[in-house]
Chains A and B, each alone.
Chain A
Amino acid sequence: MAGFTGFGKRRAADPRLPPGQYLESGFPVLSAGPTPNIKRWELQVATETGQRSLSWADFQALPHEAIETDIHCVTSWSKLGTHWRGVSLDTLFDGLETSHEFAMATSHGGYTTNLPLSELLGGKAWVVDTYEGQPLHAEHGGPARLFVPGLYFWKSAKWLQGIQTMASDRRGFWESMGYHPHGDPWKEERYA
């Protein structure tokens, strides 16, 4: 199609950018309502065979990993080379058997998002509490959020409260609003 004359001079081409994404230097916020007031933090991880409940002290005592990666928001911005620290979901699920293939993440404040378990295990996902060397700000999901950088960032549920495996896929909050049940940025799985 005919273009806008002169448009495109400010392009930011980078092979690390998935299709349809642009480079963002700030850190925009996407959330549906007020930042929740978390009085008592606790993280529940549950499968059909068992569950564990972690206090903040329990969570802090688990081994943390440093993560350097790119993040991609469904609203078309990407941030490259961000630094996080958190606990691998492999660690959180260690010892909890499951035959389930899906999981629902629940936030303080009630919001939910669904993910395939295969995107959560195998070194692909963490619960992070540190961003660029600082405690994770509440606006960005602190004290701790899910972190699944391989998927669009709404899947990285803020203010994480629990992760429950499930036998079949059900849509979470954002997915009920028209966002994609899977959300792979390299396939542009934005909406469905």
Chain B
Amino acid sequence: MSEPVAGSAGVTGAGEVGPAGDPYAWLPATIVSSVAQTSRARSLTLAVPGLRPARAGQHVDLRLTADDGYTAVRSYSLSDVRASRVSAVSGVSGVSDDDGDGRGDGAAADGTRGAESAGGAGPVPQIEVTVERLDDGEVSPYLVDAAEPGDPIEVRGPIGGWFVWPPSEFEPESAVHAVLPEPEGATPPTSAPVQLIGGGSGVAPLMAMVRARGRGAPPMRLLASVRDPGSRWYVAELDEAARASSGHDAAATPDVVAAPDVAAAPDVEGALGTAAAPGTVAAPDAPPGAAPDAGGGADHPAPLVVDWVFSRTAPEGHDRPAGRLTRDELERLVLPASEHPLVYVCGANSFVAVVAGWLVELGHAPTRVRTERFGGV
């Protein structure tokens, strides 16, 4: 039985109860950079000494503390986990492939790495969350509008073992295999092609999966449904990643919209503590062309196709009129059930419920459809 370390009184010594102790203890962390994704959403990079390596799809709990000690906790999906994997080799800031998948996660190629800690004790794991402002929210307005590099925050996690990619391989006698038999004729989940489907802010954990794919990864396809062009997160990086993976111009993927957009020019506010290290986690958000090595260069990363669907307002010149995703479109825009893709669906509950239901109707095995839901019905 493990109980989280109580309160913030243990901040100075909390590093001692990190990986060696309770894996779900609160860890003191620092916001090291802040990048606006849209007018309502912001990506925050946190440096978290003692953090375990995180997996794409996992979430963390964040705890904010008011001046009088009042605290509030919320869960946020990780949108980038690559820099959570840092080598413990002293004096070397590098990335270890410590999950043994042999893929290397593409992190080194992207120049993404944990930051050197201020005391020179080695690299500090970093994670990124992307937070959308809920106007009546208690926590999100502070994270989107008030949080600045240098601010302290506490982190618990990473958490989750189902909505993760690459997927876990469970013991044959585990509760998971017992109740969720694999579809016949399917490749194992670890090598299955991957279909990601995100509604609104639900693209956040899917972005972590896109970013975590290495050169040997199975093909990935992302379908993202957003309200309007200004609500797209990570749009420049996704355009670039899709272009790089196809080895030629994005014209090969006509569903990718290359329209100019506010989100294409993230305003990097700062990278406190890592300012001297070029290629920190903020780098992947640079506009195409600004970072020639981003996306793996000539190494042709695993195939990635990105499709955007706009529910309220479509960009000018987009051939699909604005409107909600339909079942027919879903069938056209996702990998077919015959390929037994592993499908990850994330978004508001209403979106996830409808999409997951359609996927099953279209022949996808329920056990191949993994869901993560935000908010109320």
Contacts and interface: CB of A to CB of B under 8 A. Distances in A.
A36 to B, nearest CB: 7
B4 interface: yes
Given A10-B138, A22-B73, A28-B376, A182 B371 contact: no
A40 interface: no
Given A1-B65, A3-B64, A35 B73 contact: no
Interface stretch (A56-64, A83-91, A104-112, A116-124): A104-112
Nearest to B69: A3
Contacts of A2: 67, 151-152
Contact of B74 (A3, A33, A76): A76
B370 A33 contact: yes
Nearest to B376: A26
Contacts of A10: 137-138
A170 interface: yes
Given A28-B349, A32-B370, A139-B377, A11 B163 contact: no
A76 B73 contact: yes
A12 interface: yes
Interface residues of B, number: 57
A25 B376 CA distance: 8
Nearest to A26: B376
Nearest to A23: B138
A190 to B, nearest CB: 7
B3 interface: yes
Interface in B324-377: 349, 353, 356-357, 359-360, 366-367, 369-371, 373-377
Contacts, number: 148
A178 B61 CA distance: 14
A112 B180 CA distance: 10
Interface string B158-186: 01111100000010001110111000000
Select the residue from A8, A20, A109 with max chain B CB neighbours within 10 A: A8
B192 to A, nearest CB: 15
Contacts of B23: 191
B373 A11 contact: no
A172 B2 CA distance: 18
A171 B366 contact: no
A188 B3 contact: yes
Nearest to A182: B1
Nearest to A4: B142
A192 interface: yes
A176 B161 contact: yes
24 contacts: A1-B152, A3-B65, A4-B64, A6-B146, A7-B65, A8-B66, A20-B71, A20-B73, A25-B376, A26-B376, A26-B377, A28-B375, A33-B371, A137-B377, A173-B179, A173-B180, A176-B170, A176-B174, A187-B1, A189-B1, A189-B3, A190-B4, A191-B2, A191-B23
Interface of A: 1-8, 10-12, 20, 22, 24-37, 75-76, 106, 109-112, 137, 139-140, 170-173, 175-178, 180, 182, 187-192
Interface of B: 1-4, 8, 11, 23-24, 28, 61, 64-68, 70-75, 137-138, 142, 146-147, 151-152, 154, 159-163, 170, 174-176, 178-180, 349, 353, 356-357, 359-360, 366-367, 369-371, 373-377
Top 8 A-B pairs, shortest CB-CB distance: A26-B376, A8-B66, A110-B179, A177-B161, A34-B356, A3-B67, A10-B138, A8-B70
